[in-house]
Every structure is written in C-alpha cells, then in structure tokens.
A and B are shown apart, each in its own frame.
Chain A
Amino acid sequence: MACISPDGKPTVSGAKMLRALKATAGSAEEVSQSAGLPLFRVRSGLRELAQAGLVSQKGEQYELSAKGGELADSLPA
C-alpha cells in the first residue's frame, strides 16, 4: 500500500494527501497541487484512502471522512 502502512499509519505521501484534504476538500488535481504530488500518485492514493474509509468521493470532489479527519488531526504539523 502506498498511502497506508501495514501498521495502519499513513505514509509520507498519504500524510500529504490527508493534510491537503484537511485544509480543503477538492478534486484530485487540486489535491495534487496542494500536496505537491504527481497526479497519478494522488489518483491512486485517493482510491486507497477511500477503500480504507478515510476519504469519501462526491463526483470529482474528495473530502475526509470522520475517521480520516481524526487521523489527519493526529498528524504532526
């Protein structure tokens, strides 16, 4: 898994995406820009975060779920 480690903790790129979504919900393109990650990584990562129940998708927009919000809050700044 690229965004969530086997121990359930977000990887560096997973944490970047969670922080970006904590700041504001947005499209994959917007997350890519604010997280500073390539778009292909963000698309793949958002899919993984959604499967883990950390992110929900409405159309083209992604936002943190309650569980994702809690995890994002626990990340070091």
Chain B
Amino acid sequence: MEEVKEQVISLPRLGQPAPPFEVVTTQGPLKLEDYKDSWLILFSHPADFTPVCTTEFIAFAKIYPELQKRGVELLGLSVDSVSSHIAWARNVEEKTGVKIPFPIIADLNKEVSTAYGMIHPGQSKTETVRCVFIIDDKQVIRTILYYPLTTGRNMDEIVHIIDALQTTDANGVATPANWRPGDKVVVPPPNTQEMAEQRLKEGYECVDWYLCQKKL
C-alpha cells in the first residue's frame, strides 16, 4: 500500500507574531518589517485575470483611502509573476479606470502562501484561496478570514473588523454583534464576584452583571 506523507506546517494563529517574509512585489522588494507601526491587510487571491479576483481588487482599491485614514496598508498576493500582476493591474485600470494603488506579492515559490496556510488542497492544489490576514502595528495577527474560491470578499466586513480592533485597542472594550462606530461597546465582564457585585452599580447599561454596554 502506498504511503502518503504530508508535510505538517504550523499555521499562524490569532495573537501570534506574523510569519516574517521577504518578497518581490509590483512595488519592489518588501519585508514584513517594512510595515512596522502600520496595520497591514495581507490578502491572497487565486489568480490574476480572473473575474471574482478582478471585482475584489477594484473593491480593495476603492476602500484603500478609508483604510489609509486608519493607518492600514494593503498587500495582495498570488502565485502569479510580477509581470502577470503588472499586466493585470494595467488591464484593470484600462478597462475600469481603477488604479491598483497597493503592492501585489509574486509568490512564485509559494513561500508566503505556505507559511500563512493560503493553499487549501481541497479547493485548489495550486492556487491560493481568498485569505485575509489582519496584522496589527506590532506585527501580531489579529484576524484571519478564509473565503472559498467562488465567493468574493465583503469589504464592509473588512473595514468593520479594523474599526472594531482599533476601538478595542484604544478603549479596552469589546464590540457586540453588528457593531458600527458610534454604537455602544461592551464593557469587559467582571472576573471576580466582588467585581460582579460592583458592576451593576457603575452606571453602565446592563442586561445583567456579565453584559454591560456603554457609549464611548
């Protein structure tokens, strides 16, 4: 019986340092450390010159100014070459008028795709699936999203996650379901009985001691 061996690679997890990389991009060679002190959205797409990816790149380009206001940079990736990326970006601009303003990694040797777990053989053995890694200004992974090949990403959700994470960092709070900037935030739950008793007297809007919200 033929023995099948698969290399087991430890994939990045939330709260861990982002795996370092040194890559060739459409804006020249870049290292992860070049993004220190900025937030970074590293995202992969299956292939250049494909329809869903094209709609996503146009959408990413459109939210880029909003992301920059939040101190966030975008960095795309696929296993295509730099020449392919350049040709595709030029074609997108020519056909739609949208310029792709952020760099795209040419991960021909799949080093970054492998380190970040972007290739899911159940979807494709050669292409990266639609991953989103949100990396904070200390280069720690804060969010990982995986979308299947057939589903384009939701830009509102990506901006929402950035807003929520930055609100959490700035204020030491959590954000409830369907939160939007300006909505009430969740006060961290008490972790002692004494704090639980005190919590209801602190003037927050509480359902009970473990679910209290406040306006920022």
Bitwise interface map of A from 1 to 40 toward B, beta carbon under 8 Å scored 1, else 0: 1110000000000000000000000000000000000111
CA distance A40 to B27 in the complex (A): 10
Residues of the A chain whose Cβ atoms lie less than 8 Å from the Cβ of B33: 43
Interface of A is mostly: helix
Interchain CB contact under 8 A, A40 and B34: yes
The verdict on B214 contacting chain A, using a C-beta distance below 8 Å, is no
Interchain CB contact under 8 A, A48 and B28: yes
Interchain CB contact under 8 A, B29 and A40: no
Interchain CB contact under 8 A, A44 and B38: no
The verdict on B66 contacting chain A, using a C-beta distance below 8 Å, is no
A residues whose Cβ falls under 8 Å from a Cβ of B: 1-3, 38-41, 43-45, 47-48
B residues whose Cβ falls under 8 Å from a Cβ of A: 27-31, 33-35, 37-38, 73
Q: List 29 A-B contacts (CB under 8 A).
A: A1-B29, A2-B27, A2-B28, A2-B29, A38-B73, A39-B34, A39-B37, A39-B38, A40-B30, A40-B34, A40-B35, A40-B38, A40-B73, A41-B27, A41-B28, A41-B34, A43-B31, A43-B33, A43-B34, A44-B27, A44-B28, A44-B29, A44-B30, A44-B31, A44-B34, A45-B28, A47-B29, A48-B28, A48-B29
